[in-house]
Chain A
Amino acid sequence: MSVLVYTESEQGKFKKTAFEAASYAKAVANQMGTTVTAVTINANDTSELGTYGVDKVLNITNGDLNTFNANAYASSIAQAAKKEDAKVVIVSSSADSKYLAPILAIGLDAGFASNVVEAPSSTSPFTVKRTAFTNKAFNMTTIDTDVKIVGVSKNAFGLVESNGNATVEDFSPTIPASGVKVESIDKATEKVTIADAEIVVSAGRGLKGPENWGMIEELADVLGAATACSKPVSDLGWRPHSEHVGQTGKPVASNLYIAIGISGAIQHLAGINASKVKVVINTDPEAPFFKAADYGIVGDAFEVVPKLIEKLKAFKAQNA
């Protein structure tokens, strides 16, 4: 009857979203008076999970699962859920978890609520708050099936530490054959990704041309941030599509979002609204972004950003 959480790892190491999912699972388990079981796939060290409320780990080690496969992973998690008789299964909102969750839902005959931002307001009926209309609204949704799947939004519930130790049990699910085979993976390992970044530095058409992105990259470097851009910038080919954030691009849910030379079209704001603290730098005091931001500087990016880089370097040196 425990709450099952899929704690995702990459190269054997847990992602922050895994700990966030575990923290969420713990909150649900507390509400329901039960325990948390985590299922891990090829993770190196499961001891950290106890810190985030996990009581028991089902540890899967299988060479066939070295590259992600949505069907194989969903099936493994479903088998773990059945073994534990779990009524609630928690997953994160990473690209891979979003890929496998609907397949898992069909496999478990479970209702699925994605983009959930708070612990359930009640567990009977099971009611959660999720974002809808690309962060322009929330909807309170009940999951009416016996088994429930919750996809937890990134950076919404947060990390909650508790002092616990998880017991570890090896688990060997049957891996189904899959019709989707990974041929190649192209991933910049040295760069912070928009999905995982605590800070995102984003720039728009105000930068006037792709040749001016050097200072944006430098600012991101100083902050350990990911770089992003507005839709017009990606449409113009100044920056790759993978950096486009907004309603039809990537969603951003960072701690800090710095928008430089972005006016703040409604579609852009919707996509980045889940970020906690928003800073805007723009020459136009009437730019809509000033209504959405927490802090703003009315000024020319070409003057403000170099100064900001210099001051931040000094700040970092002092606070190192």
Chain B
Amino acid sequence: MKILVCISHVPDTTSKINFADNDTKFDTNGVQFVINPNDEFGLTRAMWFKEKQGANVTVVNVGGPETEPTLRKALAIGADAAIRVNTEAKDGFQVAKELANVVTEGGYDLVIAGRESIDYNGGMVPGMLAALTNANFVTNCISLEVDGTNATATREIDGGKETVSTSLPLVIGGQKGLVEESDLRIPNMRGIMMARKKPLSIVEPTNASTETSTVKFEKPAPKGAVTLVDADNIDELINLLHNEAKAI
């Protein structure tokens, strides 16, 4: 089985978010970048398929050269090869188009992406990629088993979960649950050394079009100070929630 894991290169979850160039660009100053958490759960599940079922795992990112350390980290975790599509995509559609090209060229059976990236939160790349490549698609995926060309997946729905049967080729929008937090792997020295020798190929973009554009970013308005209520005066809290906030 050939697996492609889509890796988004995103600011670490603890990052302070600021913007530059008149609020038109994300300010990367002092920001540490990581593998998108939703993608990391997928990558870890892919490692399981590699170890138990002999799958071959390639990771891919659509982005500039600055994303290569993130791809190297994925190689150090255990992926066999990496691809970087050399373009700074402007929207999710463009990313999906470029990825569709990689999927078609490489003939992958299973594509695992995260349900969304934690930076732009578009949540559209996996679904668009599936539609563009005529693959089956399951998102918010919290468990995945593959047997030959058949697959069983569980997805989180509002208030529960749903188990589906499907088949390869398949695109997954993964999230926590696909593997547990404790299953995530920190690359060891051997992995890091080996990652240096693994192939990281750079693919030129197809110049896919875009469908949306970001005009500018805004930060939420600063919040007013908290109203503190004495622990012995619960009535006051209930009064505030009822009469002032109108929340109960």
Contact = CB atoms under 8 A, between A and B. Distances in A.
A101 B234 contact: no
A308 B161 CA distance: 33
Contact of A114 (B121, B165, B175, B228): B121
Nearest to B245: A277
A297 B160 contact: no
Contacts, number: 259
Contacts of B118: 133-134, 247-248
Interface residues of B, number: 79
A173 interface: no
B145 interface: no
B186 interface: no
A135 B227 CA distance: 23
Contacts of B140: 95, 98-99
The contact size tier of chain A is 35 or more
B229 A102 contact: no
A158 interface: no
Contact of B231 (A180, A273, A299): A299
A180 B245 contact: no
B22 interface: no
Contact of B181 (A71, A185, A235): A235
Nearest to A316: B248
Given A102-B131, A292-B223, A297-B228, A111 B248 contact: no
Contacts of B229: 295-297
Interface string A104-129: 01110011111100000000000101
Contacts of B220: 135-138, 273
Contacts of B242: 315, 319
Interface in B165-210: 165-167, 175-177, 181-182, 210
A186 interface: yes
A311 to B, nearest CB: 5
Interface of B is mostly: mixed
A296 B247 CA distance: 15
A132 B120 contact: yes
A95 B119 contact: no
A11 B152 CA distance: 25
Nearest to B114: A248
Interface stretch (B13-21, B59-67, B76-84): B13-21
A7 B164 CA distance: 24
Contacts of B122: 112, 114
Given A187-B160, A295-B226, A256 B247 contact: yes
Interface of A: 68, 70-71, 94-96, 98-103, 105-107, 110-115, 127, 129, 131-145, 178-189, 191, 193-196, 199, 223, 235, 241-242, 244, 247-249, 255-256, 265-267, 270, 273, 276-277, 279-280, 290-300, 303-304, 307-308, 311-312, 315, 319
Q: Which 6 residue pairs across A and B have the least CB separation, nearest first?
A: A102-B127, A187-B160, A299-B231, A111-B211, A193-B159, A106-B131
